[in-house]
Each structure stands twice: as C-alpha cells, then as structure tokens.
C-alpha cells in the first residue's frame, strides 16, 4: 500500500495540467476529423443531409444532458461549439478534462444514435467517426456574442456556396472543377441569381437548419417569462450588459449553490431551434445563457 501511494505521487509529478483562465467564458469547439472521407464512405446527401444534421443535434442534446454546466451549443455541418459560463468550476477548469469529456460524450452518443437516423439498406455505420476539440477562453459577453455571430455568418456563407456548387454538379451536370471555376470570385447576389435563374431555387426558402445552423440550449422559460422579456426596457438591457462587461472579481459559489443550480439545469428543457443569434433578440429573451441568474 505504501509503495502504491509513493508511486502515485511520484508519477503524478510528471503531469502538467493546464488550468484555463478564471473568470472567462470557455468555448469548446468540436470538429469532425477526416469527415470528407467519412461522409463519402457513408453516402451523405449533398449539399446537406438532414439525417446527419439531426444526428449532430441529437448528440449535442445528449451532451448537454450529461454536462449540466453547458447552457448552450451551436452547430453547423460537422462542428459544434459548447459554451461554459465564466463562473464555471467544472474539473477546476482543467483543459484536458473539459476537452476530453465533451468530445468523448458527443462521439459516444453520435455512434449510439446513428441507427436512429441512418436506417434501411446501406445505412450501417461502416467506420468509426472521429472528432477533435479545442478550448478557447473569452473574457466578455461581447466576445462570446461575436464568436457565435461569426459561426452563424460562416454557416450562411458556406451553405450558400455549397448549395450553388451542388446545384451545378447534380442538376446542371457540370464537373466539380468547372463548378469551382464558375463560382470563383462570385458574391452572394451572384450565387442567389444563379440558383434562381438556372435552377428555380429561391435560397431564402431553403430550410432554416441549413441556412442558420442549429442552436441547442437549456430553456427555463414559461410563457409569462417570454412576455416579460419582450417588454424589457432598453435601459434595463444596457444596465445588465454594463454589469456583465465590467465585473472583475470572479463569482465564488458555495458547494450547496452549485448543487442547486445543477439540479435546476437538469430539470430545464433542452430545445433545438434554427434562429438568428447575431442580433440581440435571442439573447435578451434568454439572459441565463450568458451567466445571468435563472
């Protein structure tokens, strides 16, 4: 027993854990690894496969259920970004623990739920999916909002290009290199015009899940809450924002308070929506997502 204890202390001296900066928001961004090959081998539909996107959303939902500290996640294509509030103390903010827990939980559910979304002949999982994950700290609400806005803008830009590209390839019978050359240097208006004039596709009528991405979050609201949030004054919004942006001292929560909030989070509904998260409305109606009291 004594030897075991000595060995444990000795071997742990070689560990070099990285503790993420306190009093900052943490975004854990998960990406599919070698997914071009994975999607090809499993015959994903182009430009969007609703089965695959719904599987990603379901895996993110289960990840939120397993990790109640995560209030919101945003996903596009083969990636998902999970937010931890700046007062989060999960695993003492050890980077490797946070990253490995999120990526393993998500991947496990992705495999487990596969057969629910890919059914029928040829729908079997023929090779293991792989995801990587990174952690980035953001000091302010504004930084977090900018991050999610960037990802949603990227979703629109990439999806518009892919919609035009695959329309040329699948319906216009144009080779992939020729399609790339035709779209090179074009603007959004050019792609919209190409889709409508040549293929009768109004891009604005494409499913919102494709154009806006997926927002998976904990919803504590009841109808009365939504009405109250909708009538909040601009002064109240600005005061709340100023408080969040200028608070310098980390909030220290007792063990009892953390347990209470965890139970509360587990009872919350987890919903998936395809909505705008660039503007203020989404965040104003859901202040708890950025660390406000529920």
pTM, whole model, 2 decimals? Answer: 0.87
**pLDDT tops 80 at residue 124:** yes
In a domain, 39, yes or no: yes
In a domain, 45, yes or no: yes
77 in a known ligand binding site? yes
Query: How far, rounded to the nearest angstrom, does the alpha carbon of residue 84 sit from its chain's CA centroid?
Result: 12
Share the mean pLDDT of the chain.
88
31 in a known ligand binding site? yes
In a domain, 129, yes or no: yes
In a domain, 13, yes or no: no
CB neighbourhood size of 274 (10 A): 15
Distance CA 232, CA 239 (A): 12
Quick check: helix, strand or coil at residue 269? strand
In a domain, 2, yes or no: no
pLDDT one-digit tens code per residue, 265-281: 888 999 999 999 999 99
Confidence of residue 229 (pLDDT cuts 50, 70, 90): very low
Radius of gyration from C-alpha coordinates of the chain: 22
In a domain, 34, yes or no: yes
In a domain, 173, yes or no: no
Phi, psi of 250 (to 5 degrees): -60, 140
219 in a known ligand binding site? no
CATH number at 61 reads: 3.30.70.3000
Q: In terms of pLDDT, which residue wins out, 35 or 6?
A: 35
Q: Which domain holds residue 44?
A: 18-153+208-212
User: 15-19, 59-63, 93-97, 278-282: which has the minimum mean pLDDT?
Assistant: 15-19
- Total domains in the chain come to 1
**pLDDT tops 70 at residue 41:** yes
32 in a known ligand binding site? yes
């Amino acid at each position: 027993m004594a030897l075991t204890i000595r060995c444990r202390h000795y071997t742990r001296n070689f560990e070099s854990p990285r503790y993420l900066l306190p009093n900052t928001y943490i975004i854990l961004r998960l990406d599919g690894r070698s997914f071009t090959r994975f999607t090809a081998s499993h015959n994903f539909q182009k430009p969007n496969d609703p089965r695959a996107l719904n599987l990603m959303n379901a895996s993110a939902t289960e990840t939120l259920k397993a990790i109640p500290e995560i209030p919101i996640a945003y996903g596009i294509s083969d990636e998902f970004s999970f937010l931890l509030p700046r007062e989060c103390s999960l695993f003492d903010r050890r980077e490797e623990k946070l990253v490995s827990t999120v990526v393993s939980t998500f991947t496990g559910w992705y495999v487990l739920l596969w057969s629910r979304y890919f059914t029928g002949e040829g729908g079997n999982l023929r090779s293991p999916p792989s995801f990587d994950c990174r952690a980035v700290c953001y000091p302010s609400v504004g930084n977090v909002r900018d991050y999610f806005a960037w990802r949603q803008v990227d979703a629109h830009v990439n999806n518009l290009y892919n919609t035009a590209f695959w329309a040329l390839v699948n319906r216009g019978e144009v080779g992939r290199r020729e399609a790339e050359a035709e779209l090179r240097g074009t603007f959004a208006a050019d792609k919209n015009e190409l889709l409508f004039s040549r293929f009768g596709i109004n891009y604005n009528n494409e499913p919102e899940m494709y154009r806006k991405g997926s927002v998976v979050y904990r919803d504590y609201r009841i109808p009365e809450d939504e009405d109250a949030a909708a009538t909040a004054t601009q002064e109240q919004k600005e005061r709340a924002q100023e408080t969040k942006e200028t608070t310098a001292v980390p909030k220290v929560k007792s063990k009892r308070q953390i347990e209470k909030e965890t139970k509360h989070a587990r009872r919350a509904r987890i919903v998936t929506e395809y909505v705008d998260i660039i503007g203020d409305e989404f965040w104003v109606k859901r202040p708890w997502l950025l660390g406000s009291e529920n």
